[in-house]
Structures are given as C-alpha cells and as structure tokens.
C-alpha cells in the first residue's frame, strides 16, 4: 500500500519574538533577540534573571474571556496558535469529516502556574478555596482537549509529553495518523507557559540556565564558546496537517511536506545527552531514511542548539557522524538564540521556522555567535540570515529523559 503523503497547510505561533507567524518569521530573519530581564516575578534571589517572555499577548483576541479565566497559559497559547493555523489553512469545516479530524498538542510541563497559585490558596485559606477548575486547568492533555472542542474535531485526540522533544513528537505522531489513514486532518504542535517562580527556579537549581544577567539580550549563545546555559522561553506552535490529495483538491496553499520522522532514546541520563549523541544520530538517520533521502540531500538543519555546553557539542558531533563531509556544507542554525528555549513548544515553533525557510529560501541566523568553539566547528549561519535555495530542512529536538525526535520537511513542488 502506498503511504499517504502529509502536508502543512496552516501555521500559528505565539513566541517571545512575535505573536503570529509573520511577526515571528520577520524577527528571526532580522536576528532579533526575545531575551531580556525577567519581568513576570521578582527574580532577585535567583541565579538566573533572564528569560524569553511572550510580550503583549491578549488571549481575548482568540478566546472567550470567561473561558480564558479557566485556562492555564499553556492552553491559552495553544488555543491562539490553533486559531491562527486554522484561519490560514482556510478549512471549510462543513466539508471536513470531523470524525477524521484530530488534535495532538503536547506540553513539556503543563499547568505549573495553576499548581503554584492553587497551592498558595490552599496554604492561605484552606482546602475549601481550591478551585474546582484546578485539575482541568493543569493537566497536560487539556490543550488538545480544548482545541478539539473549539473546532468539534472528533477524530484522534491525544497529547505528547517528552520534555523538549514534545513538539516534534506531536507533529510526527500526527503525521503518522494521516499516513496510516486514521485521520485526514490534524492540528498538531506544542505549548508551554512555565516561566513561574517554581518552574524557573527548578531549572536554576539544575544550573541549566544562562547567568548572563547583565547581558540579557545576548544570553542565549548556541555553539559559541562562551555559552553557559539556555534562556527559558514560553509560547506555542501549531500546524494544520492534511492528506496531500485532499489539500490539492480544495486548492489549499501548501507550505511544506512532512516527509520524514525519526525518534529514539538515549537510554543514558535524566538530563545529560549521551556523549557521542548515539540517540540523536539514530533519530536523524531514521528521519532521513523515512523521507526517502540521503544525508547529503538535506540543505538546512534547524538544530536543537540550546546554548548549553554539552548539548551543543554533542549535537555537532552527532551531525558530523550522520552527514560526514556534507556536515560542513549544510546550513545550520539555532533559532533558540532568538526565541530562547520554548521547552515543549520548541520543536513545533522550529518546525514552522523550517517551513518558512523552505517557502522563502532564507535561512535564519544563529545570533550572539562571536567566539568559535573547537568542538562546534560547523556552519551555524552566524549572526546574519542568508538566502539559500533550499528544498529540504531538518528539525532536531532532544529532551530530558533521553527523548529524541527529528522531522524532515520537503519543499512542495506540485
């Protein structure tokens, strides 16, 4: 049986550098940093005081205000991104078999803000003051649940929780459902809203965050020798996936084809990558093979590139092992240098960046790259975007727990 092909026909995003895809992409191409001094709470006593916060986001533009009050921010970001993606896809819901339309939106952490606020209410006023919406607000599957209710999508509905690999897993798994003829349309992606005292403090305790507190805009420095941790971000990315023939039949705009997907485990450590990146290598190879390509046919790699010491050098080594001599020729960048690390939303937002790169023929830069690291010796598109007629793009996502998820997108040409 021929495998059904899957394409992206709509995209939506809420990010630290733009609350829609057009603004997000313009910021990437300009090399604009979304990092700054943390404003959400007083971070004076925290080792890191830098974050990439979503700015000027008004959920009332996308969600009924009464409903919005009963949602954690990770759900609000997902709802806003899904609305944007559906609007761009221009799907006629009366013509869609809603029993074969589904949602797969994940989150790495879920409703931690809700947990913190309700714990405060419990401590101050006792159990009678706990909100009856506590559980529906905090559980990770509620982003998928609320989006499915919004569009009456009654097909496959699930969520993925694989830390920083969540977004890529969600899109890859959703594409599989369409390929296997279990769905025709899927809304897929990731969302995160965990910049809270407890969430932020937990990453500080891990010593994972950048401590360039006096240089917040340049704190995220993927592949640069002076990097000392990632910048915590927030937001969401959601895409509309459709079966190719159905998309063509309705004359949909096709932004990219989801051609390959690979996932593996490091089976090594809760936070550290396996030193030689064996899991990362395996996921890249699987995705390339699934796309029917050879490694030297990958034009652009959107790297996981977190700005942490071990991740960046391990990923660089893994790329060299998979691509051999082509590793020096492929264009690579880490858009986390601008967005910060969106955790469970990272892969989805970076998949959108790959689709835009294919559409426009522009590779976004890795900003704040000034001092080369001998362990990271590839072309990371330093500081300035470049035009490149790319036909294939790969998105890498590697998460705590050793979860690896890689997507390969192709430019759709007829």
pLDDT of residue 2: 81
Q: In CATH, what is the architecture of 1-414?
A: 3-Layer(aba) Sandwich (3.40)
- Provide the annotated active-site residues: 164, 304, 341
Using CB atoms within 10 Å of the CB of residue 371, give its burial: 0 to 12 exposed, 13 to 18 middle, 19+ buried. Answer: exposed
pLDDT of residue 117: 96
pLDDT of residue 99: 98
Question: Among candidates 83, 88, 54, 59, which has minimal Cα distance to 345?
Answer: 54
Specify the DSSP element, H or E, that contains 68: helix 65-68
Question: Among candidates 30, 3, 19, 11, which has minimal Cα distance to 335?
Answer: 30
**303, 340 contact by CB (below 8 A):** no
Mean pLDDT per block of 10 residues along the chain (414 residues) reads 91 98 98 98 97 97 93 98 98 96 98 96 96 96 98 98 98 98 98 98 98 98 98 98 97 98 97 95 98 98 97 98 97 98 98 98 98 97 97 98 98 88
pTM: 0.97
Distance CA 228, CA 29 (A): 24
Q: For the chain, what are the domain ranges?
A: 1-414
């Amino acid at each position: 049986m021929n495998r059904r092909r899957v394409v992206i026909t709509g995209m939506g995003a809420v990010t630290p550098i733009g609350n829609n895809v057009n603004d997000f992409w313009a910021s990437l191409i300009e090399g604009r940093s979304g990092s700054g001094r943390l404003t959400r709470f007083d971070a004076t006593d925290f080792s890191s005081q830098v974050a990439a916060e979503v700015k000027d986001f008004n959920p009332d533009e996308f969600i009924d205000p009464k409903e919005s009050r009963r949602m954690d921010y990770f759900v609000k970001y997902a709802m806003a991104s899904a609305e944007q993606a559906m609007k761009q896809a221009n799907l006629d819901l009366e013509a869609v078999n809603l029993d074969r339309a589904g949602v797969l939106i994940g989150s790495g952490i879920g409703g931690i803000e809700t947990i913190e606020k309700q714990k405060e209410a419990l401590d101050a006023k006792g159990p009678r003051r706990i909100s009856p919406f506590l559980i529906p607000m905090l559980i990770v599957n509620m982003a998928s649940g609320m989006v499915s209710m919004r569009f009456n999508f009654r097909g496959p509905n699930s969520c993925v929780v694989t830390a920083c690999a969540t977004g890529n897993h969600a899109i890859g798994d959703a594409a599989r459902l369409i390929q296997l003829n279990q769905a025709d349309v899927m809304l897929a992606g990731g969302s995160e809203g965990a910049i809270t005292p407890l969430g932020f403090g937990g990453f500080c305790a891990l010593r994972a965050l950048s401590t360039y507190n006096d240089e917040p805009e340049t704190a995220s420095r993927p592949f640069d020798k002076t990097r000392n941790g990632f910048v915590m971000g927030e937001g969401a990315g959601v895409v509309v996936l459709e079966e190719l023939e159905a998309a063509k039949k309705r004359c949909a705009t096709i932004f990219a084809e989801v051609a390959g997907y690979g996932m593996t485990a490091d089976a090594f450590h809760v936070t550290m990558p396996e030193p030689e990146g064996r899991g990362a290598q395996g996921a890249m190879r699987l995705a390339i093979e699934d796309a029917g390509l050879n490694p030297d046919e990958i034009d652009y790699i959107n790297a996981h590139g977190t700005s942490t010491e071990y991740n960046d050098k391990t990923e660089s080594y893994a790329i060299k092992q998979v691509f051999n001599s082509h590793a020096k020729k492929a264009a690579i960048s880490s858009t986390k240098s601008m967005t910060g690390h969106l955790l469970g939303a990272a892969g989805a937002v970076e998949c959108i960046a790959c689709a835009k790169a294919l559409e426009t023929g522009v590779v976004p830069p890795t900003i704040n790259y000034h001092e080369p690291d001998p362990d990271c010796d590839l072309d990371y598109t330093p500081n300035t975007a470049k035009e490149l007629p790319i036909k294939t793009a790969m998105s890498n996502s590697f998460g705590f727990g050793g979860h690896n998820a890689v997507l390969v997108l192709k430019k759709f040409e007829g």
